[in-house]
Amino acid sequence: MNFVYAANHNEIYEYMVYGTNKIESQIRSKIFSFKPRFSYCPKCYITDFKSFGEAYWRISHQIPSIFICPIHQIPLEEINTPYYELELNTKINIDVHNIPRMPLSKKTLFHAKTFTRQSFYLNKINLKLYEKVKSNKFYLLFIERGFVKPSGKIDVTKLQSEIEKFYGIEFLEIAKFNKEIYKAMEQDPLSWRYNMAPVEFLILINFFFNSLSSFIMYSYKIPTGENGPFPCLNYFCDLFNVNTITFTSIYLKEETTKRLSINFKCNKCNFVYEKVFRISDWCLLEIRRDKSEEWISNVLSLINNNHLNIESVSKKLNINILEIEEMIFMNKLDYSNKLLRDYKNSIEWAKRDKQVLLYFKNLVSKAIGQGKVEVYHWICHSIYKINLESELSFLTRTEQYVEKHRTFYNRLKDHKRKNSKYI
């Protein structure tokens, strides 16, 4: 139950007791993992016959992540008859004396004992690890431990090699580790967990952590090195800058943009912000805030009602002055426009140049993040929207940046025109 979504617990129970439920098809899949054939310990079998005249199945032998007998510490065997062919009166004859047995290596025995101990603990206490073992959370762990390529793909060759070196082939074979999981990881780095069974989760957990408790206490880190909980960045929330956000959602668009996007949502105010990273070097490119109508209204009230100047509001909210100017122009507020005129009359052009350039670079990054090629249109629209035409001649670096994108746009247009002649 530890690796299963809480809403499914009752359905699993009903299936186990009554045999039918809408979750039955999932029970038979790899998600919940079951042993297709009953397991037994040959030595327990012999001991039972000596003591009782017949042998009994042991529940502990049927736990998917237990591969050795907890008492005799030898590999469990499986009967040939699938579980669905067994009935209460089915007799199973086993010749335990003819079962070939090789002693396990010390490494295999060590890991098998660890898994047995952890399996008993996890079956006794539901730690609700479903959220913790999600693929996107593990992806952050793969980034931290160096198992993600510059393309954003999981380096499954390196991962497989390191796991086999850590556990040994013998242990992975008796654990029936599904190697197809590597293919699923490579194809979909953020959704491969749906092919996982509890034993495979334990294999990954023990590979990355010294103990189960280390994993339970671990807080996933984002590429900046920060670990949760994360702060709310809404200045107007009571929990502003308080580390309360524990859940994050992750999006990977490596096919087109080579970007990783991590979203954070405050449970109190529902404010959402996003950190965008470049995959090749995990550099933080920008922080995007969800500018809802309520949030914009609160920003403008700081100017109109609290009579703060635009630069003060920019510092308080840690946003670019151009973003505030954009809100003012869109809402056409007289007092705000007066403040804006006063601000521009006392402007320092070198400082202004830096602010506008940063604003355009963020704009271009956002456009590229959405797969837009002709970003020059976005720049032109913003120049018009916040009335920057008259300023550009004073903004040397910004003007050069705009000209660079205009040149690129014209070349792209010429290239399209030439290619269209041959179609």
Asked if pLDDT for residue 8 goes beyond 60, the answer is: no
Please give the C-alpha separations between residue 235 and each of 191, 275, 317, in angstroms, as whole numbers: 34, 17, 6
CB 296 within 8 A of CB 327: yes
pLDDT at residue 374 in the model: 72
Q: How confident is the model at residue 188 (pLDDT cuts 50, 70, 90)?
A: confident
Q: How does DSSP assign 179-242, residue by residue?
A: THHHHHHHH-TTTGGGG--HHHHHHHHHHH-SSHHHHHH---B-TTS-BSSEEB--TTSTTBT-
State both tokens at 176.
Answer: 């029936």
- In DSSP terms, which residues pair with 343 in a beta bridge? none
Mean pLDDT comparison of 9-18, 19-28, 147-156, 251-260, highest-scoring range: 147-156
Q: How confident is the model at residue 209 (pLDDT cuts 50, 70, 90)?
A: very high
Report the sign of the C-alpha dihedral through residues 262, 263, 266, 271, in that order. Answer: positive
Same domain for 50 and 120? yes
Q: Considering only CA atoms, which of 127, 132, 123 is closest in space to residue 60?
A: 123
Flag the least confident range among 341-345, 358-362, 374-378, 399-403. 341-345
Q: With 0.75 as the threshold, say if the pTM is over it.
A: no
Which of 201, 217, 233 is at the close of a domain?
217
How far apart CA 122 and CA 371 sit, in angstroms, is 45
pLDDT at residue 196 in the model: 77
Average pLDDT, the chain: 80
Same domain for 373 and 396? yes
Asked if pLDDT for residue 156 goes beyond 60, the answer is: yes
How far apart CA 236 and CA 12 sit, in angstroms, is 44
- In DSSP terms, which residues pair with 278 in a beta bridge? 259, 283
Query: pLDDT tens digits, residue range 277-298?
Result: 888 889 888 888 888 888 888 8
pLDDT at residue 295 in the model: 87
Same domain for 100 and 162? no
Flag the least confident range among 78-92, 101-115, 143-157, 276-290. 78-92
Flag the least confident range among 165-179, 205-219, 353-367. 353-367
Q: Considering only CA atoms, which of 262, 223, 219, 260 is closest in space to residue 243?
A: 219
Give the pLDDT mean for 366-380: 74
Same domain for 71 and 159? no
Which of 124, 152, 167 is at the close of a domain?
124
CA-CA-CA-CA dihedral for 32, 35, 41, 47, to nearest 10: 90
Residue 255 maps to a domain = no
Residue 129 maps to a domain = no
Helix axes 376-385, 321-331, angle to 10 degrees: 60
Flag the least confident range among 10-19, 26-35, 145-154, 198-207. 26-35
CB 37 within 8 A of CB 64: no
- The residue type found at 40 is Y
Give the pLDDT mean for 27-52: 70
Residue 312 maps to a domain = no
Residue 96 maps to a domain = yes
**DSSP, res 103:** P
Q: Considering only CA atoms, which of 259, 388, 378, 233 is closest in space to residue 317?
A: 233
Q: Is 220 exposed, middle or buried (0-12, 13-18, 19+ CB in 10 A)?
A: buried
pLDDT at residue 30 in the model: 39
3-state secondary structure of 334: helix
Please give the C-alpha separations between residue 36 and each of 30, 41, 80, 196, 199, in angstroms, as whole numbers: 11, 16, 10, 16, 14
Total domains, the chain: 3
Q: How confident is the model at residue 343 (pLDDT cuts 50, 70, 90)?
A: low
Query: pLDDT tens digits, residue range 118-151?
Result: 888 887 777 677 677 778 888 999 999 999 998 8
- In DSSP terms, which residues pair with 274 in a beta bridge? 263, 288
CA-CA-CA-CA dihedral for 176, 180, 185, 191, to nearest 10: -80
Which of 217, 233, 257 is at the close of a domain?
217
Helices (H), 85-197: 106-124, 135-144, 156-167, 169-174, 180-187
Residue 189 maps to a domain = yes
Asked if pLDDT for residue 9 goes beyond 60, the answer is: no
Asked if pLDDT for residue 2 goes beyond 60, the answer is: no
Q: Considering only CA atoms, which of 240, 2, 216, 212 is closest in space to residue 114?
A: 212
Asked if pLDDT for residue 116 goes beyond 80, the answer is: yes
Residue 62 maps to a domain = yes
- In DSSP terms, which residues pair with 250 in a beta bridge? 262
Q: Is the peptide bond before 229 cis (omega within 30 degrees of 0)?
A: yes
Same domain for 21 and 108? yes
Same domain for 196 and 87? no
pLDDT at residue 208 in the model: 94
Phi, psi (deg, nearest 5) at residue 379: -65, -45
Same domain for 113 and 59? yes
Provide the domain limits for residue 152.
Answer: 135-217
Same domain for 147 and 103? no
How far apart CA 353 and CA 56 sit, in angstroms, is 81
pLDDT at residue 24 in the model: 44
Same domain for 386 and 365? yes
- The helix (H) or strand (E) run that includes residue 263 is strand 259-265
CB 124 within 8 A of CB 116: no
Same domain for 73 and 173? no
How far apart CA 423 and CA 124 sit, in angstroms, is 69
Residue 73 region by backbone torsions, left for phi larger than 0, else alpha for psi between -120 and 50, else beta:
left
Asked if pLDDT for residue 110 goes beyond 90, the answer is: yes
Higher per-residue pLDDT: 191 or 419: 191
How far apart CA 37 and CA 79 sit, in angstroms, is 6
Residue 147 maps to a domain = yes
Residue 166 maps to a domain = yes
Same domain for 403 and 360? yes
**Chain center to CA of 363:** 26
Same domain for 82 and 188? no
Chain position carrying tokens 């439920």? 21
Q: How confident is the model at residue 371 (pLDDT cuts 50, 70, 90)?
A: low
Q: How confident is the model at residue 13 (pLDDT cuts 50, 70, 90)?
A: low
Higher per-residue pLDDT: 298 or 10: 298
Asked if pLDDT for residue 202 goes beyond 80, the answer is: yes
Asked if pLDDT for residue 214 goes beyond 70, the answer is: yes
